[in-house]
Structure 1
């Protein structure tokens, strides 16, 4: 894992050496173990590796020759800890240069393929495999990779910059193009170091956030003109005057769907095999690997499946727990620890810690974030680093692909009803009511919620909970927001599968992946996600709904596959905690502190993003005990803190 950055200048002006140094320095947390720079030339043999000292020297070659661009790299050493794996990395003749953030887990298998083609290697990690795979197969190499990445390749033979992002956007890659220069980096803050990049909010993104609660729902960021390379895409730029970046999609989920297994037993066996292999290859590392353990089915499954590959002394888990919190999962964590013999480490996040770290969190996250769970996750990664573990496994992606959230029940029930399966609909509704302590009329009415359009659901929620009405947002921003609510992905399959894909690709998981990356990298920790293995994802989205929700139980397939591997009481859990914090209590405490102060500044701010008087009434409603107001209040406070962190003054 690393931090990468670079500039391509179509005018031929030399890239500012001090800028490249600043772009590397502002991402030092992503790579504390080393650094390197490269000056890039159109001459296939003319590019140079440069040290910081050479970059800073006024007599440096970067300032007295005509260069097309430059790369900067900060290294977190995970595979091949020697200098042989240092970046930027050239190929044998210097015609290709690579900077790379991420991991390609199937690198040993790819290396064997490349060696059979005659390629020879100087290093033992995955970086050189990525470079030589591009040399052998061009951009088609990306479809051979199983991993997570943001990649930049300077191909001097073609005079082209190639940027590539992994299939699901697990790793970040951002860029800005002004017609003459393209600047890219792992993190937005590095791009903002370039003086020609405007510091201006993208008000359409701000509007979607305030009105629809959307973050990371497209390739647009909260910063105008700074875009994300979309997941599963390449960006190419020819280094010639008048050229423009070209985006191309190299992978789609639709093209990799499978024929579903004929029987339940086959479906369970196939899942177990794919998941076990996803965990196995994510344990490939030259440094210690641990696991984030919440006590839920996802993280518990990872810990238990990893157990045969690690000795108990070498398997550490990291958990966030809260004494006195009714949703604390410590007893479930303890159950997994007792069953596996792993070395457990626990942190206890507090509202005082949230107050202390909130500016730090906003700076690292770079864009507004949704809940205080982001802070708890931040503390878990800090704990892992303190324990000397720079790589962790985590369970992101399971809920979205396996229907783990309870709000998927209405969608599933509606799908059964619309397909005419009345018997199955009745049985599932009754099981849902029984398992989750709801009345049968409640379960049946849930079907109605699943039948409503997205727009109708928003209107109904606003009627039931007046605090969710967004009339406090300025009319101008409401017009900028998406007119029909959140975007929808398109995928073949039943109603539940399509809804899952919406959450997986557009409305939920992309934000969680951003939180995960920035929190882990804030502490120089690489987080690996077995449930995001592309083979497993493609398989799960090929399956019908009844393999995910059955008899009123979510994640049916995972529970069946992990029987005899994960402690049965965990598999029998019907509650869904998520990565919860004592948020309501924290908000009440913070209302007298940083949260309240941010809201008061927002109310007083002279801006056309919201109506201060209406916002004041919303704040008063929350202070009076209307808890439904908590979410919009958090959005405004978080946006205010973000604005104050990255821009001068209030909006």
Structure 2
């Protein structure tokens, strides 16, 4: 795992500053390549072949192809063997060299042969192009700026900001965040003029003409043709995914929340390697309803793993807040991001360089409760009322919640009425002028009606992209490579090929995967229907004296009052009602946090100030 940077002109000092800005992504080694046309930089976190043979930039035999690469190709051994049979020579045992030869063998189609996560840039001197690619699901980030002349790219935004780019917020993205609670859902970032290469996309930058072409090379919707229902096959694919993600020349541990996903990862790690020392890393809040300690303990005792846990409090949050925003680079919608941040720090402090994690499972397996609403609507459209009632009753018996029925009603509500509800009830704290300015912005989830459509949009646009941003930025801040077995493309394609009734059944989410893991994961965990993850006691924290003082100072500050996005008096009133326990909306804490998060981001990145209030 590493960090990459570059641009289309020669400047050694500027490239050095960019590399230094992302040194945390690769503290083990660094390298550059510079000629009259390009400047390319790399920071290395050594995971495979720890020797100097893995140094980057890496060159082909005649020096006409230069590679800088961030990621892991889990099938590199198979590809390496294939290329050796074709007569290609290898100087190292790295997957980096496999990427280099794959490009020589297949050109830009090389990405179709990879199973893994990546963001890389190949400088092909013969064709005079830069070829950039991002993995199928966007596990690894890649940002860029192109103004018609200057082309700049990097693994993180902070390296791009070493250039003299205008510091201006993207108001449309700010609106999507405050109004729809959306981030990372399109190529635009919160920084005007800085974009992300989207998941499953390739880019060609022609150094001769200065033209850029971007092409989508992968779409999971086009990858399955028949319905599948084999639970044994599900287990086999998942087991092989975990097996491949254990390949490393350094120890591999795992995050462990205690839910189905992370528990399945850990028990499968033990199944794959019965003798390995397994370290797990967890978030704990003893005595709180969100604490999952009993489930974590079950798994740790079952697999004989060594567990490390952390319990951050509000003083920790306040001390780390500025660094957390610098790490994430864009606003986020809650303090659970900080919980993950502290787990990654815990892992680093205990000597880890690679962790497995359960990210992506909810999007692939239909784990979120709101997916019920899409399934209900699908059944209603088919006039399958008996199954609809059965599913609704089953869900209520397990959760004692009417939320899925509310989601069904939302599916049946016309978009125009939804916008009125948002404007007058959901986000009344935004100014009319700001809403009018963005009248054309739309949440495409309002036009999704089937379960498979919802799963696809969750994977592609609305959920997974921001979770992967949190995952990458938090882990790499502490020089840790995070690997996500649920996003092996073979596993994803198979799960997406299953019919809706295998994803949600009798009011149970993740049905097929639960069935596949029977006998592997304790029934006490497989039968869980709550959803926690690395949650923090957010509302309690927002009422804590230390946090309360900060929020009140921010809302009362001149900069917050002068922002054009919100009615600061209404935000203040909302917070006062939350503190008094008079708030009638379950979303008000999240709404307030988004405003605070937006203000802190503006101060840090646009105004270039410290984030504490004046």
TM-score (norm 1): 0.89
Q: State the 1:601 CA deviation.
A: 2.3
Secondary structure at 1:5's aligned position in 2?
Answer: strand
**Residue 216 (structure 2) pairs with residue 249 (structure 1):** yes
Q: State the 1:576 CA deviation.
A: 1.9
C-alpha distance in 2 between matches for 1:602 and 1:307: 55
**Residue 138 (structure 2) pairs with residue 169 (structure 1):** yes
Secondary structure at 2:562's aligned position in 1?
Answer: coil
Secondary structure at 2:334's aligned position in 1?
Answer: coil
Contact 1:487 1:507 in 2 (8 A): no
Contact 1:90 1:96 in 2 (8 A): yes
C-alpha distance in 2 between matches for 1:340 and 1:516: 25
Unaligned runs of 5+ in 1: 10-14, 41-66
- Map 1:417-566 → 2, pairs under 5 A: 417-438=380-401, 447-453=408-414, 456-457=417-418, 459-460=420-421, 466=425, 468-470=426-428, 472-481=429-438, 483=440, 485-488=442-445, 495-566=450-521
**Residue 51 (structure 2) pairs with residue 82 (structure 1):** yes
Choose which of 556, 563, 588 in structure 2 pairs with 1:607. Answer: 563
C-alpha distance in 1 between matches for 2:416 and 2:475: 35
Tell me the residue number matched to 1:232: 200
Q: State the 1:293 CA deviation.
A: 0.4
Tell me the residue number matched to 2:234: 271
After superposition, the C-alpha distances for 1:42-76 in whole angstroms (9 at most, x for unaligned) are xxxxxxxxxxxxxxxxxxxxxxxxx0011111100
**Residue 574 (structure 2) pairs with residue 618 (structure 1):** yes
Contact 2:12 2:34 in 1 (8 A): no
Q: State the 1:487 CA deviation.
A: 2.9
Contact 1:289 1:393 in 2 (8 A): yes
Contact 1:489 1:506 in 2 (8 A): no
Q: State the 1:154 CA deviation.
A: 0.3
CA spacing shift, 1:602–1:148, aligned 2, 3 Å: farther
Contact 1:602 1:612 in 2 (8 A): no
Q: State the 1:425 CA deviation.
A: 1.0
Tell me the residue number matched to 1:37: 32
Contact 1:150 1:166 in 2 (8 A): yes
Tell me the residue number matched to 1:201: 169
Contact 1:621 1:629 in 2 (8 A): no
Q: State the 1:393 CA deviation.
A: 0.5
Contact 1:602 1:640 in 2 (8 A): no
Choose which of 259, 266, 279 in structure 2 pairs with 1:303. Answer: 266
Contact 2:314 2:547 in 1 (8 A): no
**Residue 2 (structure 2) pairs with residue 2 (structure 1):** yes
After superposition, the C-alpha distances for 1:583-624 in whole angstroms (9 at most, x for unaligned) are 111111154233332232267542322233333333333333
C-alpha distance in 2 between matches for 1:533 and 1:216: 21
Contact 1:490 1:498 in 2 (8 A): no
Secondary structure at 2:444's aligned position in 1?
Answer: coil
Contact 1:402 1:554 in 2 (8 A): yes
Tell me the residue number matched to 1:637: 596
After superposition, the C-alpha distances for 1:193-245 in whole angstroms (9 at most, x for unaligned) are 012x22111111111111111110101000111110111111111112x5221
- Map 1:66-215 → 2, pairs under 5 A: 67-195=36-164, 197-215=165-183
CA spacing shift, 1:253–1:118, aligned 2, 3 Å: same
Contact 2:415 2:446 in 1 (8 A): no
CA spacing shift, 1:320–1:444, aligned 2, 3 Å: closer
TM-score (norm 2): 0.95
**Residue 227 (structure 2) pairs with residue 280 (structure 1):** no
Tell me the residue number matched to 2:14: 19
Q: State the 1:541 CA deviation.
A: 1.6
C-alpha distance in 2 between matches for 1:476 and 1:503: 30
After superposition, the C-alpha distances for 1:318-343 in whole angstroms (9 at most, x for unaligned) are 00011121121000000111111111
Q: State the 1:481 CA deviation.
A: 3.5
Contact 1:486 1:507 in 2 (8 A): no
After superposition, the C-alpha distances for 1:20-52 in whole angstroms (9 at most, x for unaligned) are 111000101100001000014xxxxxxxxxxxx
What is the Cα-based RMSD across aligned positions, in Å?
Answer: 2.1
CA spacing shift, 1:438–1:97, aligned 2, 3 Å: closer
Q: State the 1:454 CA deviation.
A: 5.7
Aligned length: 606
Secondary structure at 2:8's aligned position in 1?
Answer: strand
Q: State the 1:189 CA deviation.
A: 0.6
Q: State the 1:119 CA deviation.
A: 0.5
Tell me the residue number matched to 1:217: 185
Choose which of 303, 311, 315 in structure 1 pairs with 2:278. Answer: 315
- Map 1:38-77 → 2, pairs under 5 A: 38-40=33-35, 67-77=36-46
Contact 1:431 1:551 in 2 (8 A): yes
C-alpha distance in 2 between matches for 1:444 and 1:620: 31
Q: State the 1:290 CA deviation.
A: 0.4
Contact 1:312 1:341 in 2 (8 A): no
C-alpha distance in 2 between matches for 1:106 and 1:75: 20
Tell me the residue number matched to 2:309: 346
**Residue 60 (structure 2) pairs with residue 28 (structure 1):** no
Q: State the 1:312 CA deviation.
A: 5.4
C-alpha distance in 2 between matches for 1:19 and 1:622: 47
Tell me the residue number matched to 1:54: none
C-alpha distance in 2 between matches for 1:424 and 1:134: 51
Contact 2:459 2:465 in 1 (8 A): yes
Contact 1:393 1:528 in 2 (8 A): yes
Q: State the 1:443 CA deviation.
A: 6.5
Contact 2:504 2:511 in 1 (8 A): yes
Unaligned runs of 5+ in 2: none
C-alpha distance in 2 between matches for 1:561 and 1:157: 50
C-alpha distance in 1 between matches for 2:516 and 2:132: 38
